[in-house]
Structure 1
Amino acid sequence: MSLFSFFGFGKNKKAPEKANTPAPAIEVLPGFDADVIATLGAFSKLPLQKLPAIDSEDSCTIPGAFFNGYLALMTGKDDINGKALKLKQLYNGTQYRFFVFDGDDNSSGIGLILGSELDILRYRLTNAYNYDLSPDDVLAKIEDLDARLGVSIVGCGMDWIELRFDRLPADMDAFADEMYAFCPDSVDQGVGDIASLKQAIADMHGMYFWWD
């Protein structure tokens, strides 16, 4: 069992067998290729949107303001995780960064920006203010994990992040304790105990952080 599946993502609907017809034409933003935009659009039944800007004060989306990127909204969390992973694999080694996007208005889909994996978090400003962790604090920890293990950002929202690791930690006991200290809710309101957390990390080859 993965932590992601524990929280119920990706269970509601069966994934479509084929990608849908590409979304209607949308402005090609600086640095993007029209074919890449069309590929993202083919994964959604809804027209592509510009990616919402994020408020640096509360990590909420800003109505009417946009970031240099795109958002393919989904009609449900049917297989957003799987679709994002497929796109990440397809464009691995390029400047394109796909990720599961979770808005504060219950919107969800696949976001696309330019840059590095960590730029996804710099955009979304994921925080854990209830644990006195600002977006910069959260980013610093993920930067540290990236330096140690290599990370890929599967998705993130205002208060959650899902990662995949290039390699697992050598000392899983110490690592699980470290992750619990950083994100207690992933255990206390998630898998239930440290032993289950260690198993989830090994099964996922990654980690799901969630601060309630």
Structure 2
Amino acid sequence: RRLTVDPGTRAARAADELAADEHQSVFPAPRLALVPARRSADIPAALGWSGPVNHDGDVARLCAVLRSWEDRFGIRVVALGFDALLLSVAAPPADLAEAEAVAAEHFAFCPDNVMQGTGTLRTYAKELVGETTWFFWWD
């Protein structure tokens, strides 16, 4: 998969949107943090984050998935909340077929996005086509 937008540039845009209160209900007072991690995908583990504890208590597994998405889609961790995660996406799925495969990965990663959100994988996949931010929350 070839990136058409620099992941750092996409992450900066997502951070600007976050600062402009686009996700105020989940991240009411965002703060800048410098995290000693080699890769963006390793940030949750470096911080000892436990956001998805109600779904999976092993943040290393979550970071392994993030590493895969970092390599394939140019994701960057933009924000972490108590039980929420916002990623920027430099190379989002371009069509529904690709988005359906990604939607299945998202469902395994965070079922709440589908079960408490769109209700079906197909509907969720439609939202992923061209989407430059991915938001996850765990109840």
User: Any residues of structure 2 matched to 1:174-193 within 5 Å, and which?
Assistant: 174-193=101-120
* Cα distance between partner residues in 2 of 1:167 and 1:203: 8
* Cα distance between partner residues in 2 of 1:208 and 1:196: 15
> Which residue of 111, 135, 147 corresponds with 2:32?
111
Q: Matched residue pairs, number?
A: 115
How far residue 113 of structure 1 moved from its aligned partner, in angstroms, is 0.7
Instruction: Decide which structure has greater strand share.
Output: 1
What amino acid maps onto 2:136 in structure 1? F
Cross-structure match for 1:51: none
| 2:43 aligned with 1:120 | yes
* Cα distance between partner residues in 1 of 2:109 and 2:75: 16
Cross-structure match for 1:161: 85
Cross-structure match for 1:10: none
| 2:59 aligned with 1:135 | yes
Contact 1:150 1:167 in 2 (8 A): yes
How far residue 145 of structure 1 moved from its aligned partner, in angstroms, is 0.9
Cross-structure match for 2:74: 150
Q: 1:169 to 1:152 in 2, by over 3 A?
A: same
The one of the two structures with greater contact order (alpha-carbon pairs below 8 A, sep at least 6) is 2
What amino acid maps onto 2:40 in structure 1? E
Q: 1:172 to 1:80 in 2, by over 3 A?
A: closer
Q: What's the RMSD between the two structures over aligned residues?
A: 2.9
Cross-structure match for 1:81: 18
- Deviations 1:84-113 (CA, angstroms, capped at 9, x unpaired): 99xxxxxxxxxxxxxxx95xxxx7322221
**Identity rate of aligned residues, in percent?**
26
If the length of structure 1 is used for normalisation, what is the TM-score?
0.46
Contact 2:73 2:92 in 1 (8 A): yes
How far residue 196 of structure 1 moved from its aligned partner, in angstroms, is 2.8
Q: 1:114 to 1:185 in 2, by over 3 A?
A: closer
Q: 1:176 to 1:110 in 2, by over 3 A?
A: same
Which of the two has higher C-alpha Rg? Answer: 1
If the length of structure 2 is used for normalisation, what is the TM-score?
0.65
* Cα distance between partner residues in 2 of 1:141 and 1:133: 14
How far residue 210 of structure 1 moved from its aligned partner, in angstroms, is 1.0
Contact 1:154 1:162 in 2 (8 A): yes
Say which is worse superposed, 120-129 or 160-169, in terms of deviation.
120-129
User: Any residues of structure 2 matched to 1:12-31 within 5 Å, and which?
Assistant: none
